[in-house]
Copies of this chain bind each other. A is one copy, B any other.
Amino acid sequence: MDTFFSDAEQAFRAEVRAFIRANLPADLAARVRAGIHLSRVDMARWNAILDAKGWAAHHWPQAYGGPGWTPIQRFLFEAECADADAPPLSVFGVYLVGPTLYTFGSAAQKAAYLPGIRSGDTFWCQGYSEPNAGSDLASLKTTARKVEGGYVIDGAKAWTTEGHFADYMICLARTNPQVKPQAGLSLFIVDMTAKGVSLQPVITIDGAHSVNTTFLDAVFVPDDALIGEVDKGWTYAKFLLSHERTNNAQVHRSRREFTRLKDLARQVAGPAGGSVLDDPVFQRRFAALDVELSALEVTVLRVLADQTDGREPGPEASILKVIGSELQQRISELAMDVLGEEGIRQSHGQVDGDAGPAATEAAGWAERHLFRRVVTIYAGANEIQKTIIARTVLGM
């Protein structure tokens, strides 16, 4: 895709690459390669390194500490980070909460929270979905009742990823039950150490703990925890969800995984002698997947080019989540086929040295493969995305 980038952009890319090579701790990269659920400490370490360089909040405006990059530069930065197995930045803090705060928050909120997000000192989680409202956000039941000096929040939030090490939750709650469902919601900052907040771990299909159910039992939040205006939360939340749509494509991570998987397939013995990648059937499957991934990369670039040039996003922005999530699943499905029996082992007898690449990488692939079932469900299930495409883009 090199023809897409200007000489200046290529130079920028080289600068990013050099910085990462010099500054990304090797043990961190190794952990990224091996698994998927990173600890808070892991993520904070890399966040701090980037922050020192001024690159942590790389898609924020310069006024709020961003580096002032174009969307294309951000794309290249993210591509290089993925290529180098750098930890992902916290999705919630950097990608979702930051933009919400600098767009809708008060001056005091910006001052209080943005620096911590940038530096990686504070972590955030998201309190949108509820146990009885999966993709149907308009039916939220959590309430925030106005009291002297603040609000009292009652309810439960489902799928609070990283909630068990987050400092704050950005929480959607019903402040007005009289109006139609979408209209009476407001957005709050909830301190996760506040009285009445409790978590129940949700172990996911991969056997890991990254998700929780969060119970909010008469949690008091002060007035200045309200973001923007009361009853406007739905508008802000929608903004949030649509703001980083290109992030939903996960195209850099998918490209990196694809490349690693292809390397692995070159080393794993195939059924007919030679490597798996010597099998023409596997070759062709890799090629077909690569074609679709290449197309997605260009689609992301098209959306970013529109952003760079200040145009409205074209209809192709709406397909990123659907295509991106399906490709993530297809890559890990292919990985399971490449790995064969190694892929279903949760432990390996001789991982120290001569067990071969399949044994060393298998556990990570299997975990990712299982957890990957979630990507077509979260952030608006793909069926909902398709309905949205049909209705809003095609006018059906």
What are 5 A-B residue pairs whose CB atoms fall within 8 Å in the complex?
A: A279-B280, A280-B280, A280-B281, A281-B281, A281-B284
For this chain, the copies found in one complex come to 2
Chain B residues with CB under 8 Å of A280's CB are 279-281
Chain B residues with CB under 8 Å of A281's CB are 280-281, 284
- Restricting to A283-302, which residues have a CB under 8 Å from any CB of B? 284
- Restricting to A237-281, which residues have a CB under 8 Å from any CB of B? 279-281
How far, in whole Å, are A280 and B278 apart by their CA atoms in the complex?
11
CB distance from A383 to the nearest CB of B (A): 15
CB distance from A339 to the nearest CB of B (A): 19
Interface residues of A (CB under 8 A from B): 279-281, 284
Chain B residues with CB under 8 Å of A279's CB are 280
How far, in whole Å, are A284 and B282 apart by their CA atoms in the complex?
11
Chain B residues with CB under 8 Å of A284's CB are 281
How far, in whole Å, are A281 and B279 apart by their CA atoms in the complex?
9
How far, in whole Å, are A279 and B284 apart by their CA atoms in the complex?
11
Q: Which residue of B lies closest to A283 (CB)?
A: B281
Q: Which residue of B lies closest to A284 (CB)?
A: B281
Q: Which residue of B lies closest to A279 (CB)?
A: B280
How far, in whole Å, are A32 and B180 apart by their CA atoms in the complex?
64
Q: Which residue of B lies closest to A285 (CB)?
A: B281
Q: Which residue of B lies closest to A272 (CB)?
A: B280
How far, in whole Å, are A280 and B272 apart by their CA atoms in the complex?
12
How far, in whole Å, are A280 and B284 apart by their CA atoms in the complex?
10
How far, in whole Å, are A284 and B279 apart by their CA atoms in the complex?
11
How far, in whole Å, are A280 and B279 apart by their CA atoms in the complex?
8
CB distance from A155 to the nearest CB of B (A): 31
How far, in whole Å, are A213 and B204 apart by their CA atoms in the complex?
57
How far, in whole Å, are A284 and B285 apart by their CA atoms in the complex?
12
CB distance from A171 to the nearest CB of B (A): 35
How far, in whole Å, are A370 and B284 apart by their CA atoms in the complex?
27
Q: Which residue of B lies closest to A281 (CB)?
A: B284
CB distance from A19 to the nearest CB of B (A): 43
CB distance from A331 to the nearest CB of B (A): 20
CB distance from A283 to the nearest CB of B (A): 8
How far, in whole Å, are A280 and B281 apart by their CA atoms in the complex?
6
How far, in whole Å, are A279 and B280 apart by their CA atoms in the complex?
8
In order of increasing CB-CB distance, the 5 nearest A-B pairs are A280-B280, A281-B284, A280-B281, A281-B281, A279-B280
